[in-house]
Every structure is written in C-alpha cells, then in structure tokens.
Amino acid sequence: MQEMGVKVMNPVIFHECPKWAALSLPPKITKKSQYPSPKFFMSSTHLHFHTKEAGNVNKKTLGSGPAAPRSRPRYYKEESDNVDEIFKSMEDWATHNILPLLKPAKDCWQPQDFLPDPSSPGDGFYDQIKQLQARTKDIPDDYFVVLVGNMITEEALPSYHSRLNSTRIFHDNTGIDTSPWAVWARGWSAEENRHGDLLNKYLYLSARVDMKQVETTIQYLIATGLDVGISSNPYVWTIYTSFQERATAICHGNTAKMAMLHGEAKLAQICGIISSDEKRHAGAYTKMAGKLFELDPNEMLLAFAYMMRRKISMPAHLMYDGHDHHLFHHFSSVASRIGVYTASEYRGILEHFLGRWNVEKLAGLSSEGREAQEYVCGLPRIIRKLEERAKSKAEEAPPVPFSWIFHRKV
Ligand SMILES: [Fe+2]
Ligand SMILES: [Fe+2]
C-alpha cells in the first residue's frame, strides 16, 4: 500500500502553524516577511493546528480535545470589494458551466449498489457479509486506520455544508434559493453525503474496526467544528475547495489501489467511485477559481497566497476520539507512511493549480499581487527540498495505539 499517496486528506505539510487569523481584520499582505520561511515545513501529512476558539470549546464542553492553538497568523481580507458584482456577473456562466457538473440523483450511484443486499433471498445477505469479512480479515491495520480517518472526514459533512452556507455568495437564504451558487451548494452536499454513508456501512460490515470509537470520533468532530482558515471569503473558498477536493480524490484513489493490492476488489471499487466524484467536484471548484482569476486576478492571487501561506489544512484536523489528543497528527502520519497522502502529493496539487490557473503569466498586478505571484510560484521548489525530510519523519514515527482498531498500535 505504499506506493500511492493520500487522501485528502492529508499530506505532509507545513506546520509553522498558522494560528488563525482574526476574522475581523483583513489586512492586506504587503510585506515579504508575512510569508513564512520554509524552515517550518513539517512532515506530518496532515496539517494540524487549532484555533483558540476550538480549543476552548473542546475544553469546556467536550472534555479534553485537541490541543489549544498557538498564535494566529495574519489574515487576508474578508472579501474583495466588488465580490458581489463579480459573482453576480458569473451566474449565467455558472449555470451553464458549473451546475452541469452535478449529477441528478437518478443517475448517481448509491451506497447500496456496493453493499450486501438485505433483501437477498434466503441466507444471501449473510453469505455476502461473510464473504466481505473473509476478504478483509488479512488487510493490515494501518490501511484500516487510514480508511477510517477518510470515512470520518466524509462524515463531518454537516460542518462543511454549514461553512459553505456561511459565505455570502453560497448562502442559501430560504433553503431553496435558486441562485446557481445555492443550487451548487445543496447538490454538492447531497452527492458528498453518499461517501461517508458508503464507507461507514462497509466498515461496519467488515467487523475490522471498533465502530463505537469511530462513531464517538465523528460526534466529537462535528461538535468541535471546522477551522481551516477560509472565513467567509468566497475567493479563498474556491481555492481551498479546489485543493481539498483534488487532495481527497488522490487519497481515495490511493486507498482504492491499495485495496486492489490486498485482493479486495469491491473495496477498490468503492474507494475508486468516491474518488471519481471528488475529481468531478474538484473540477467544478477549479473552474470557478479559474473564472475568478480571469475576472479579478489580483485579488485571487492574494487569496491564493494567503491560503498557501496558511497551508491547506485538512477538514478533519480537529478530530478527537476521547483518548488521543494528537489523533489527526497520528492518522496523518500513518497515511503518509503507507503512501496515501504525502508531501509529494501536496506539491503536485499545487503545481497542478499553478499551471491550470496560469499563475505565472498573470499580468497587470499590483505590487502586492506580484509579490503573491512570486511567492506561490516559488513554493513547489521549496516543498520539493523538504519532501525527503517529511518522508523520513513519517517513516520513523513510533507506532501509536488507535482506539478505532481496539487500541492496537500501528
Ligand atoms: Fe467526499
Ligand atoms: Fe469532497
């Protein structure tokens, strides 16, 4: 399972630690010193940092969750001055170019297409479960840790929909708004809902994991919330989601390849079909961001630099199971070690977007814009230098117990 890279979720990333920016102040990025030095780049495949607010909530209401955050980084700006007009001008374009990337429910796969059928005659249902368990019983624990982490990330969908709805552009005022942005947000959430559902049921039937611990982690995660530096700025949102959806596609794709290597073709099919959804979603967000780069290149560059400076943290980075205060870090480390998501994937995704959005060629920029351009275009070279160190760190990490697999160590 090694040779592939990870999910979303999660690559070795920088860990200078972004403490989050105060949402109220959107200072412009004007000085080079505001961009971090690569010395902070770390080898945990998933970023993990926490906001002060999240840390406090954990302590007060959830017991002892993830560690409290360090400081907050400077924030970009809440929104470009003309963001409403720009998104308004894109509505026809989005209707014809983005909404077709959603699939009607009648044309979509559903979890039941890949699971034992409870309505099978005779003992068919039970036989199918026995076969599933026979196929999974020898798959290594580290694979299941990563699969569970991916599933938990999918299951925190309520947090993602809530954050998307908190942006002024994607906000769904009535619950049935007809703007293409609201239609997209609902359709995207509806498609995503199948991912956690399918993985959850598969893992339950496999009998390989401690479902109560997994379910407890999901509850903690949704209650704790989501804090990945996107605020309500729709420019930052399109960049974050483009990156994150592509990373997720890679992660599920890699767990699919590994499942095949372990002889479990059905699981490979499951991870593969989820990965293809993620690719389609990534394509939609990438198109949105690309259009914004055409219409407002300077502000998009500032948003891009802000997001990369802060690092793309995975959406489940605040996960906690009631036992491990560094659960996400440990999960990320395993994902990196087995090759589901590594620093190389992170760099590769960044390079993909630099090319796709033609960032190096953007012209007519302000001095801040040019500085942001120079920063993001130079990042892959810096990351490449640090990949080896990140890889070694993940490989040398001592085994830790995971409650998800009955506290066995991996
Ligand atoms: Fe998903
Ligand atoms: Fe997704």
Which candidate, 342, 246, 377, 312, places its Cα nearest to that of 5? 342
Which candidate, 322, 247, 245, places its Cα nearest to that of 283? 245
Please give the distance, rounded to the nearest whole angstrom, from the Cα atom of residue 151 to the centre of ligand 1. 9
**Dihedral over alpha carbons 119, 124, 129, 130 (to 10 degrees):** 170
Please give the distance, rounded to the nearest whole angstrom, from the Cα atom of residue 186 to the centre of ligand 2. 13
* Cα gap 230→318, rounded to integer Å: 15
Residue 34 has pLDDT above 80, yes or no: no
Q: Which residue has the higher pLDDT, 229 or 21?
A: 229
State which residues form the domain around 243: 32-409
Quick: pLDDT tens for 96-118: 999 999 999 999 999 999 999 99
Q: Which residue has the higher pLDDT, 266 or 64?
A: 266
pLDDT of residue 64: 45
pLDDT of residue 242: 97
Quick: pLDDT tens for 73-98: 444 555 556 888 999 999 999 999 99
- DSSP letter at 68 equals P
> Average pLDDT for residues 39-55, to the nearest whole number?
32
- DSSP letter at 41 equals B
Number of domains in the chain: 1
| CB 404, CB 321: distance < 8 Å | yes
Number of H helices, E strands in the chain: 14, 2
Is 19 a domain residue?
no
* Cα gap 308→312, rounded to integer Å: 6
User: Which residue type occupies 373?
Assistant: Q
Is 18 a domain residue?
no
> Average pLDDT for residues 374-393, to the nearest whole number?
94
Backbone angles phi, psi at 217, to 5 degrees: -65, -40
Element (H, E) at 286: helix 265-295
Is 230 a domain residue?
yes
Ligand nearest to the CA of 271: 1
Please give the distance, rounded to the nearest whole angstrom, from the Cα atom of residue 375 to the centre of ligand 1. 30
Is 12 a domain residue?
no
Please give the distance, rounded to the nearest whole angstrom, from the Cα atom of residue 257 to the centre of ligand 2. 19
Is 14 a domain residue?
no
* Cα gap 290→383, rounded to integer Å: 24
3-state helix, strand, coil in the chain (%, to 5): 60, 0, 35
Is 7 a domain residue?
no
Cβ < 5 A residues, ion ligand 1: 154, 192, 195
Residue 339 has pLDDT above 90, yes or no: yes
**CATH number, domain at 323?**
1.10.620.20
Is 150 a domain residue?
yes
Annotated ligand binding at 264? The verdict is no
Is 2 a domain residue?
no
* Cα gap 238→300, rounded to integer Å: 10
Annotated ligand binding at 192? The verdict is yes
pLDDT-wise least confident of 68-72, 138-142, 197-201, 266-270: 68-72
Token pair belonging to 142: 């580290």
Annotated ligand binding at 352? The verdict is no
